Chain A
Amino acid sequence: MRALSTLLIGVILAIPAGSASAQPVPAAGSTVADVRSTLATARAEIDAFLAAGGKNGAGDHPAVKWQSILWAYRERNPGTEAAVLATAGAIQLLLRGELREQAHAKVDSLAADDLAWVRISAYLYYDASWRKDYSYLVRRLSDVSARTSDATVKSSALLALGRAYRRQSDVALAVKTLESARAAAPGSAAANEADGLLYDIAHLSLGMQAPVFSGTTPDGHSVTLDSFRGKAVALVFWGST
């Protein structure tokens, strides 16, 4: 039974994919690929609008039109992966277009279990850190993380909150929140990111003893960081490309 339904879903998903380029507006039954294609079209139109002198925050910004197309798609296809992507994409277009009132109104309308929060949490963090104003993020994501019953939503919301607290230099609260993010959905992308940030806070903050390592020089000699003690060290990680 499971194999059959998987097969059927595969067939259903495969059918509209080929029409993606001909149809910028995702129709009912569209796939993730169709929504991605719509988002690419929207971003290209927004780039052209800005290049022609259009301003972010303006009422005639193309993000207004595209978010409503994406939102209508979401409402016609509730609960699908493509709808989740359309939802998050609509919010991202509005935030990048600095149409925050509209973005926040849409965000406020989402249920705490909506899987779009996984992406939206990150978008709210990028927007807040760019503006250096975390008040909306903290209010909204505190509420979502407390009310959601979905583990990945909880972990993602707590990760964004923890990053925000860290940016606001509340290290103790950042650590507590990131630990909760890590515990909420072990193994998820958000949990792994929280784990990395906790390591960063514990070992790579200013004033910490720098982690010791050993390595090999181009002529094959082994070197440890310790061997430079007594010198100041500018440690430069670099790549050829």
Chain B
Amino acid sequence: MAEVPLLKTLHDKYSADGLVILGVSIDSSVSLANRTIKEKGMIWPQLVDPKGFNSEAARAYRVDGTPTLFVLDRAGKIVARPSSARGIEESLAAALR
């Protein structure tokens, strides 16, 4: 999770405007996921599932590698699929409208 510092910056900068970062771990070890969340300081909402890549969420979004990112607007529509966390911020104007 090399992208945690950048996600943290986005969290601090845009939470007040209505951005939620929702992390979904694909670790099949929930205890490993929980440890990473604590150690890396991932202070935004997280979902963990021992099914990993086969969890309901990972299957619904066809996740086959990490990170996989989607940006959703306030109505729940997909506005961007950035290839890395660096691409999230440029889609936020549309997402937070």
- Residues in A lying within 8 Å of B, measured CB to CB: 196, 199-200, 203-218, 223, 225-226, 228-241
* 8 sample A-B contacts, Cβ–Cβ < 8 Å, listed by A number: A206-B79, A231-B20, A232-B74, A232-B96, A238-B3, A238-B23, A239-B25, A240-B1
User: In whole Å, how far is B10's beta carbon from the nearest beta carbon of chain A?
Assistant: 7
User: In whole Å, how far is A213's beta carbon from the nearest beta carbon of chain B?
Assistant: 4
CB-CB contacts below 8 Å: B40-74 with A? 45-49, 55-58, 60-63, 66-74
Q: How far is the CA of A211 from the CA of B95 in the complex (A)?
A: 16
Q: How far is the CA of A203 from the CA of B34 in the complex (A)?
A: 30
Count of chain A to chain B residue pairs whose CB atoms are closer than 8 Å in the complex: 152
> What is the number of residues of chain B that contact chain A, defined by CB distance less than 8 Å?
56
Q: Other than A231-B20, A237-B66, give 8 A-B pairs with Cβ distance below 8 A.
A: A199-B62, A200-B62, A207-B78, A232-B14, A236-B21, A237-B69, A238-B24, A239-B1
Smallest Cβ-Cβ distance to B17: which chain A residue: A232
Q: How far is the CA of A203 from the CA of B59 in the complex (A)?
A: 12
Q: How far is the CA of A200 from the CA of B45 in the complex (A)?
A: 25
- Residues in B lying within 8 Å of A, measured CB to CB: 1, 3, 7, 10, 14, 18-27, 30, 32-37, 45-49, 55-58, 60-63, 66-81, 85, 88, 92, 95-96
With A206-B78, A216-B49 as given contacts, are A231 and B19 in contact (CB-CB < 8 Å)?
A: yes
A-B pairs, top 10 by smallest CB distance, nearest first, are A215-B47, A232-B95, A211-B60, A237-B68, A213-B57, A233-B72, A235-B70, A240-B36, A239-B66, A237-B63
Q: How far is the CA of A223 from the CA of B48 in the complex (A)?
A: 11
Q: Please determine whether B66 and A208 come into contact, CB atoms closer than 8 angstroms.
A: no
Q: Please determine whether A234 and B22 come into contact, CB atoms closer than 8 angstroms.
A: yes
Q: Please determine whether A238 and B26 come into contact, CB atoms closer than 8 angstroms.
A: yes
Q: Please determine whether A208 and B27 come into contact, CB atoms closer than 8 angstroms.
A: no
B10: chain A residues within 8 A (beta carbon):
234
Q: How far is the CA of A214 from the CA of B37 in the complex (A)?
A: 19
Q: How far is the CA of A217 from the CA of B7 in the complex (A)?
A: 18
Q: How far is the CA of A225 from the CA of B61 in the complex (A)?
A: 12
Q: Please determine whether A228 and B20 come into contact, CB atoms closer than 8 angstroms.
A: yes
Smallest Cβ-Cβ distance to A207: which chain B residue: B77
A226: chain B residues within 8 A (beta carbon):
76
Smallest Cβ-Cβ distance to B64: which chain A residue: A196
With A230-B18, A237-B63 as given contacts, are A215 and B72 in contact (CB-CB < 8 Å)?
A: no
B1: chain A residues within 8 A (beta carbon):
238-240
With A196-B62, A215-B56 as given contacts, are A232 and B72 in contact (CB-CB < 8 Å)?
A: yes
Q: How far is the CA of A233 from the CA of B56 in the complex (A)?
A: 18
User: In whole Å, how far is A13's beta carbon from the nearest beta carbon of chain B?
Assistant: 33
Q: Please determine whether A234 and B21 come into contact, CB atoms closer than 8 angstroms.
A: yes
A214: chain B residues within 8 A (beta carbon):
56
Which of A206, A228, A231, A236 counts the most chain B CB atoms within 10 A? A236
